Each structure stands twice: as structure tokens, then as C-alpha cells.
Amino acid sequence: MTGARMLRGAAGVAGFLVAAELLVRFGLSEKFVFPAPSTVLNEAGRLPADPQFLEGVAVTLSNWALGLLIATVVAVPLGVLLGALPPVERAVRPVLEFMRPIPSVAIIPLAILLIPVDELMKVSVIVYASIWPILINTLYGMHDVDPLAKETLRAFGFGPLAVLAKVSLPSSAPFVATGVRIAAGVALVLAVSAELVAGGSAGIGVYVGVAGSGNRTDLMMAATCWASVLGVAANLALLAGERRLFHWHRMRTGVTT
Amino acid sequence: MKAVARLWVIPLVLAVWELVARGLADTDFPPPTTIVARMYELWFSGPQVFTDDAIDNLLPSLGRMFGGWVLAAVIGVTAGVLLGRSRTATDYVDPLIEFGRSIPPPLLLPVFLILFQTGLATQLATIVFGVIWPVLLNSIDGARSVDSTYVETATVFNLSRAQRLRVVVLPAASPKIFAGLRLSLSLALILMVITELIGGTDGIGYQLLQAQRSFDGAGVWAAIALLGILGYVVNSLFVLAERRVLVWHRQATRG
């Protein structure tokens, strides 16, 4: 990102904040009380000193990370297995196609019913929703493997496992990473959704719910901003990791983003 | 015959599920036949096929989902195509978009509930906010990457700005825009459900929550199955419509 672009971006943010501030303070009707950006930012600045909020962030983040980890551990081997064995994939595919359109948040009430342990219920919901993007991307990566490279190794007498380890896995790894990054965004949404629906002792969603019962829209917006910051940070971190690990992939395919 | 060969695993899964569920005899894990019976009982056993419950819940759900999606599509495509034509303008809003699309939409739901007081405005606002990003980003991207020969040809033919947008930019960007619209549609279904789970008073999601609260295991499964079918049908219809509208694009890129 060049200096001029960053400057324009900063100007855009500042312009938006000023416009929103003026609109909230002078433009809107009396009945519609949206917290002013200055109030929200002020509260957001104070939140890191609030132990209750910090505990919520810690709980949500650990559920998020655990769910994502379990989803990766389940979905990647499954994707590799299905990708390596086309007859199995053809057989299982219709089941996946029938399950995929189910909106993931609809699983939350079912999970509440089936899993009495609160933490376990929340992690399971995150796992269920995160498995899909990782699985689909792993499968896509396995299909994208250069057939010439596989044939070359086979011609040199390598067995199927060696071909898998030396060609298929490295070549689909960047796709897996993209799947994990997409799943991270989905997982955060599911983590807070489960907290909003089911409640619980702590979590960002729980914090927003509690602030809502006291009509503290400023606190709710401040916590929401922090959730967004966490989402942006996780996305950037995963993106940076992808670029570092797989710079050869970008050079090969010419994809710049 | 081909479909039979491809789909043989579905009846197998259903049969195994049926046997296992019957063996377990747990009301929270019912066999498929019980779920289908509950679906029929809940929604399709009325005088004119649909029950009152179905009309009172399915219609509002569908209305919110499509209403929110159409609103987001209109705003997103308009703003996106205009922004996409100017690199500088996009630079100004880039960080705002990046921040906005990272906000988990369900967190805004309780805020909107307090602000708007009414259910419908809250639900529509949440759905629009949640599904606008793919449309907006894809429209920006589509409008930005229009082949410069097209734009230059339009200039040579002395087309006005509005004409250029309508005749050149919009069609050239439409494959990307449609990809965004499709992603938004499946997001709209997810957000519709969550708006009905939190502070809703009707809809499929609300029925799902009620079933869970009254420990009606079969009802929960029935609602999830209905939502899955809805997701499948809506997506298939969209793909059909996309093929129709973009028929020229497929023919042009095939050659």
C-alpha cells in the first residue's frame, strides 16, 4: 500500500467519523438515539481496562481458535482422502451437496438440545460451520494438482503415497490455507451468534447481550468495533502467513492478492 | 440411470440413520421418517397443502430474506459500479469497507433492536448490512477490470457517461456482480435465520427456537431440514437465472 493510498484511506475514515458525528448530534430525530462516534470510540478505548470484557474476549477467542483448529484437523485429512480417491468422492459428494445449503446458524438450537455442556456446544457449532470452507478448498486444491508432475513421479517409480506426499499435498497447501482464512471469518460470526442465542457466563456476544439489557448502545457498539478489529487482525495475520509460506505459489500462478 | 448411480449413497445414509436412530430411541435424535412426518404435520397438512403455521412463518421469512437481499443488491451494485470507475474514490473508502465487512452482523442485531424498536426494520437492517459486502466488493472489482478497449470504443462513439455505464461497464462487470449476488443470497438465508433466533416473533428460525425450547427434537430437525431445502432451491433458482441472463457471456468466453 503506497503512502498516497494510505493517506486517502485515513482521510476517508476521518471524513466518515466527522459526518456521522454531525449527523448523530444535529441531524437525527429525538426518538432515534444512535450513539455518536466520539462516544463509541471513547468507550472502545476504555473497554480494554474492563475485566469483564477482557474475560469475554478471552473466552470467545479461545472457542474460536479451538473450533478452527478442530475443523482444520478434521477437514484437511478428509479433503485429502476424498481428493485422492475419486470413487469415494463421487459417492460422498451428494451427501455433502445436501448438507452444505443448511444455514450454519440453524445448527445452534440443535446443538443446544444435543450438547448440554455450554462450551462444548459453542465449539461444536464453530467446528461445523468452519469445516465447509476448509473441506471445499482442500478438495479444490487436490483437483488442481498438475497431472504432469504426478505422472513424472509415477514414471520414476514412486508409489501413490510418495506422490501424495511430494506433489499433491504441497500443491494443495495454499488452497487449504485460503480455506482456513475464509473459515476464520465464518467461525467468528458463529462464535458470537452462539453466545447471543444461548447466553453463557462470558464472551463478546454475552457482553453485548448484557449491555443491551441495560440499553447501553454505546457499549454495544464499542464491543462490536473490537470484534471487527479482531476479525481484521486475524485475517491480516493469516494472509501474511499465507504469503510467507506460499510465495512460490503466487509466483507460479501470478495471483497478486 | 446416471443419477441413480450417482445418488445411491443418499438412500444408504438415510437407511443407516433410520436404523441407528430407532435403535437409540432418543427423541433428540429422531429417524428421518419421524422428521419428515413432523415436517408434513407442521407445514404441509393444511386444507390447501400449507398449514396456517406455514403461511404465518414461511412467508415472512422469505419476504425478509429476499427483501433484504434485493435492497443490498440495489445499494451494493450502484455504489460498487460507481466506485469501481475511480481508483481514487475506492482508496478513500477502502479501510471503511475492510472494517465494515469484518463486523460480525449478528452483534449488530441487539443494537438495532434497541434503536429501531420494531422487528422488521431491525431484521432488514441486519440482513442488508450483512449481505451487502460481497455485492459491493465484486461490483467494484467488476467495474474496475472492464477491458479498456471497450471503454475507449465507447469514448470514440461519443457515448455519454450514463450511456457508457449502462451499455459498457454494467454488462462487462455482470459476471462478477452475479458471483457476488449468489454469495449474498446464501448469506441472506443465514442472517434471516439469526434475526429470527434473536428477538424474532415469527418465521422459520423462530419456529426452530420454539421447538428447541419445548424440547421438540423432531421439530428442530424438521426446521433445519426445511431451511436446507430452502437453501438448495434458492441457490438452484439463482444459478438458473444467472445462466439465462449471462448466456451471452458463456457463449463469448467459450469460443
Segment A178-233, tens digit of pLDDT: 999 999 999 999 999 999 998 888 899 999 999 988 888 889 999 999 999 999 99
Chain A from 113 to 152: CB within 8 A of any B CB: 113-114
Averaged pLDDT for residues A162-177: 89
By the 8 A CB rule, do B165 and B81 touch? yes
CATH match for A50-253 among 3.30.1490.20, 1.10.3720.10, 1.10.3300.10, 1.25.40.10: 1.10.3720.10
Identify the CA nearest to A200 among candidates A108, A68, A102: A108
Kind and range of the H or E run holding B122: helix B119-144
**pLDDT for position B52:** 85
Buried (b) or exposed (e) across B113-139, using 16+ Cβ within 10 A?
A: bbbbeebeebbbbbbbbbbbbbbbbbb
B7 contacts chain A (CB < 8 A): yes
**pLDDT for position B255:** 46
Neighbours of B204 (CB within 10 A): 28
Q: Is the pLDDT of residue A257 over 50?
A: no
**What pairs with residue B49 in β-bridges?**
B46
B209 contacts chain A (CB < 8 A): yes
Indicate if ipTM > 0.90.
no
- Compute the mean pLDDT over every residue in chain B, rounded to the nearest whole number: 89
Contact list, A208 vs chain B (CB under 8 Å): 107, 110-111
Averaged pLDDT for residues B68-81: 95
**pLDDT for position A65:** 95
- The residues spanned by each domain of chain A are 50-253
Q: Is the pLDDT of residue B9 over 90?
A: no
Query: What Å distances lie between residue A47 and A60, A188, B205, CA to CA?
Result: 15, 19, 33
CATH match for B55-254 among 1.20.1440.120, 1.10.3720.10, 3.40.50.720, 3.20.20.140: 1.10.3720.10
Of the candidates B9, B91, B190, which has its C-beta nearest A95's C-beta? Answer: B9
> Cα–Cα distance between A101 and A110 in angstroms, integer?
16
A88 contacts chain B (CB < 8 A): no
Radius of gyration of chain A (CA): 23
Residues with Cβ within 8 Å of residue A105, at least 6 apart in sequence: A190, A193, A197, B106, B190, B193, B194, B197
By the 8 A CB rule, do B31 and B17 touch? yes
Averaged pLDDT for residues B207-217: 92
**pLDDT for position A256:** 47
**pLDDT for position A3:** 83
**pLDDT for position B24:** 86
**pLDDT for position B254:** 61
B111 contacts chain A (CB < 8 A): yes
pLDDT in tens, B149-183: 888 888 888 888 888 888 888 888 999 999 999 99
